[in-house]
Structure 1
Amino acid sequence: MKIKNVTIAGGGVLGAQIAYITAFHGYNVTIWGRSEGSIQRVRPRIDKLHEIFSKELEIAPSYIGAEKPDYPRALFNDETEITEQKIDELKEINENTYRVIKYTTDLQEAFSSADLVIEAIAEIVDEKKAFYEKITPYLKNDAILVTNSSTFLPSTFRDYTGRQERFLSLHFANSIWRQNLAEVMGHDKTSEEVFDIVVEFAKSIGMYPAIIKKNSLDIY
């Protein structure tokens, strides 16, 4: 399965960051919000991220040839990739990124064509359960659903997703462009193939995936 269309459910601080880094790395990104008010609140966050990435790329030439440079690791694969040419390419990408992200409150528009849905709504169990039940009728059969929750195990929600084998946890850190560790955790019903697809997706957006096979909160 090739992931192309990614929907982020929730446009809070971290949801906006996930959306931006995913779009920056070439995916078609839609942010779903519960209301127009939610959409209006996320737009300034996306604009701010455009500004942050612009500043990061402006100072990036100072990392060229530096010993152990403290560079934004979600933007460059490694130190050798930090060149004037690559920086110019990323500046162009950044100027396009915040313009191509789509926003919607419509469930059909947000989820019917999504290959991957990243749930980043409030850390409230009942709200998450209700959200999964609400979007299930709109998802493609092969769509993958992940939760960004850092509080709850994926097994907490699997029975509400309608796709136990295609559901798992993908948790990101704040300041995602620099703190690029992403924790990937399945549960006892998660397909190994789906797990591997999510790991590769994380890598493709500049993350370093911490692969967690144990369905336990001990790792948090």
Structure 2
Amino acid sequence: MSNSVPAHVGVLGGGRMGAGIAHAFCTAGSGVVVVERDDAAAAAAQERLDKSLAKSVEKGTTKESLESLQARLSVSTDYGSFVSADLVVEAVPEDFNLKAEALTKVEKMLGSDAYLATNTSSLSVNKLAKELARPERFCGLHFFNPVPASLLVEVVLGERTSRDLTRASSRWVEALNKTPVVVNDAPGFASSRLGVAIALEAMRMVESGVASAEDIDAAMTLGYRHPVGPLKTTDIVGLDVRLGIAEYLQSTLGDRFAPPQILRDKVAAGHLGRKTGQGFFTWDS
């Protein structure tokens, strides 16, 4: 592998995040294979990727044709599709056991010189690394939604992450036209820890009637120049995802990360944000 992106990249999981990661590597020049759990999920991932790549061509953010991009990208249900990958990025839901099982399954398919990364936004990279045979070839690559437009990737180093991978991962991120922020493994890393802390306080303010969700977000976008307010960001990320991260941070860092009741109530009601049309805001389909 050179200073550019890896020649062959695998992505495990073709949801919004996984498809975004696949899109980023594909438009940067990698051959990409996305592996999904079944045929229905694979078809949905293919449709998601086709739309996303078509949008990039339409907007002129890539000089390549849609046909040439699609020729470099495939979707499969077979873990064996990862056999020739230089790098595989895991992007399955934020559950430790699910991720650990997926990562160990992927690692068995990889060549000894391939790298493996997790897109976890909060789980311990060191704990996940303990499940692997080659922890020195493993790190966190925490992408942000929407991946094609986001300018940040958090590179999370485990205690066993090799220096070669530390250097290579930052080069890959730069080749994606994004900025790497390198952090050592800690609960919530830097971005999730700070982002969730602000969002949870914003939720408590709504809950106690300090101000509306709209006005709280306006205070942060206009007063602090955040591009998106903490509550709208929560809707975009998914309230269920934010709840899971908050619960994990509470268990590792203490009750200052305890999820407010308003968050639990909205998740219980199925109001998960943009993906369901209702969260702290109402979203048009």
TM-score normalized with structure 1 length: 0.79
Whether the aligned pair in 1 keeps the contact of 2:126 and 2:185 (CA below 8 Å) is no
Which of residues 61, 65, 73 in structure 2 aligns to 1:101?
73
| 2:140 maps to 1:169 | yes
- What's the Cα RMSD here? 1.7
1:10 and 1:33 in contact (8 A); partners too:
yes
Determine if contact 1:187/1:215 at 8 Å carries over to the other structure.
Answer: no
- Tell me, what secondary structure is at the counterpart of 1:118? strand
Could you tell me which runs of 5 or more consecutive residues in structure 2 were left unpaired when the two chains were aligned: 193-285
Aligned equivalents of 2:135, 2:186: Cα separation in 1: 14
Whether the 8 Å contact between 1:20 and 1:97 is mirrored in structure 2 is: no
What's the counterpart of residue 10 of structure 2? 7
Matched to 1:98, the amino acid is Q
Cross-structure match for 2:108: 137
Q: Which moved further from structure 2: 16-25 or 128-137? A: 128-137
| Structure number, greater radius of gyration | 2
Partner of 1:153: 124
Higher RCO (Cα < 8 Å, 6 or more apart): 1
Specify the alignment match of 2:180 in structure 1: 209
Q: Deviations over 1:106-163 (max 9, x none)?
A: 122x221111000001111111111122222211101110001102121120011221
Looking at structure 1, the residues matched to 185 and 73 of structure 2 have their Cα atoms a distance apart, in angstroms, of 34
Contact 1:113 1:140 in 2 (8 A): yes
Which amino acid in structure 2 is aligned with residue 34 of structure 1? R
Q: In structure 1, how many angstroms separate the alpha carbons of the residues matched to 2:155 and 2:176?
A: 14
Q: What percent identity do the matched residue pairs reach?
A: 28
The structure-2 alpha-carbon separation of the partners of 1:204 and 1:94, relative to structure 1 and needing over 3 Å to count, comes to farther
Q: Which residue is equivalent to 2:55?
A: 52
Match of 1:125 in 2: 96
Superposed displacement of residue 55, structure 1:
3.8
| 2:33 partner SS | strand
TM-score (norm 2): 0.62
Secondary structure class of the residue paired with 2:121 = coil
**C-alpha contact 1:6 1:29 (8 A) present in aligned 2:** yes
SS in 2 for 1:210: strand
2:30 is the alignment partner of 1:27: yes
SS in 2 for 1:161: coil
Output the amino acid matched with 2:117.
V
- Per the alignment, residue 81 of structure 1 pairs with none
Structure 1 residue 93: Cα displacement: 4.4
In 2, Cα distance between the equivalents of 1:45 and 1:193?
33
Deviations 1:53-74 (A, max 9, x none): 13432xxxxxxxxxxxxxxxxx
Q: Residue type of the partner of 2:69?
A: T
Q: What is the aligned counterpart of 1:179 among 133, 138, 150?
A: 150
Aligned residues: 188
- In structure 2, the residue matched to 1:68 is none
- Check the 8 A contact 2:107/2:116 in 1, yes or no: no
Look up the SS of the partner of 2:97 in the other structure: helix
Q: Is the 8 A contact 1:21 1:205 kept in 2?
A: yes
Q: Tell me, what secondary structure is at the counterpart of 2:182? A: strand
Report the Cα distance in structure 2 between the residues aligned to 1:218 and 1:177, rounded to whole angstroms: 22
Stretch deviating more after TM superposition (43-52 or 141-150):
43-52
Per-residue CA deviations over 1:176-219 (Å, capped at 9, x if unaligned) read 22212000011111111111111111111111111113534251
Residue identity opposite 1:167 in structure 2:
F
Structure-1 separation of matches of 2:11 and 2:189:
27
Q: For the residues of structure 1 that align with 2:32 and 2:54, how far apart are their CA atoms? A: 19
Structure 1 pair 193/11, CA: closer, same or farther in 2 (3 Å)? Answer: same
Runs of 4+ in 1 over 6 A off after TM superposition: none
The aligned counterpart of 1:195 is: 166
